[in-house]
Amino acid sequence: MTSPKPVLLTGASGNLGRMLAAELSARGHSLVLTDIKPFPGPLPAGARFVAADLGDGLSMLRIAEGCGAILHFGGVSVDRPFEEVLDPNIRGLYHVYEAARREGARVLFASSNHSIGFHERPAGNEARIDADCAFRPDSFYGLSKAYGELMGRLYWDKHGVENLNVRIGSCFPEPVDARMLSTWLSFADLARLCADFIAAPKVGHAVIWGASDNPATFWGADHRERIGWKPEDSAEAFRAEVGEKVSGDPVAERYQGGAYCASGYSRATPGPRETFGQD
């Protein structure tokens, strides 16, 4: 089912944005695409592009006019210093939610596993963490994603803006290392998730682990039943190819956020459990 109103996609010029623009266009959705960078290549059918900076609140209000859903994939998408994250990922997100509030639109926020990256990886029969776990960001980027999820909580509680936080694991054409056997999200599964979100009768405030049907997943229960999403792909098909590819860094291999946890790590011991007997 297509949306009766246009769908706004931020970050449309990025890798995931370009893929989603093509996939959603093919499903018959009318799209408004925006990014600070020009859209590379021809626009998909039924789409128009407006260049804008997320930090420009007035521009975001204008671009969102008439839209029924916002897929927010814009902003800094990798680990960067605080000052580089601040404007697009904090102020820019506020502008997105203000636009959604005014238009009565729902928001899909491209969150990240890095909002909970300092949870340890489960071993053996240890329990997987559920979507209601504590935030444990592993970087300023991950911190901005935790902030973004809380922004959605606020706008649902205070203004009734429906929102879905998708904690994306590793969304690439194929897994490239052993960690991605747990975190990989195929392009096709992400496109299906976005389409299900747009079509869902109700969403409320929800959190979904953004990973394909991977038996080695780190993650447990979430709210995917709200939109009827069922991932169809699995990283297991790549185990023989990437199963032995590990970082060799004990911090990266201990925590779910991988290399983001190890970057700039300065603790004298691997973690608080050894010091305090607890996480």
- Residue 251: other Cβ atoms inside 10 A: 19
- Residue 81: other Cβ atoms inside 10 A: 11
CA–CA gap between residue 22 and residue 17 (Å, rounded): 9
Q: Which helix (H) or strand (E) holds 85?
A: helix 82-86
The label of the residue with tokens 């050894």 reads 274
141 classed as catalytic: yes
Contacts of 85 by beta carbon, 8 Å cutoff, 6+ apart: 76, 140, 141, 143, 144
Catalytic, out of 141, 147, 155, 260: 141
For the chain, the straight-line distance linking the first and the last C-alpha, in angstroms and rounded, comes to 45
- Which 3 state secondary structure label does DSSP give 94? helix
Cα angle 105, 145, 207 (rounded to 5 degrees) comes to: 60
CA–CA gap between residue 10 and residue 55 (Å, rounded): 12
- Give me the active site residues, please: 141
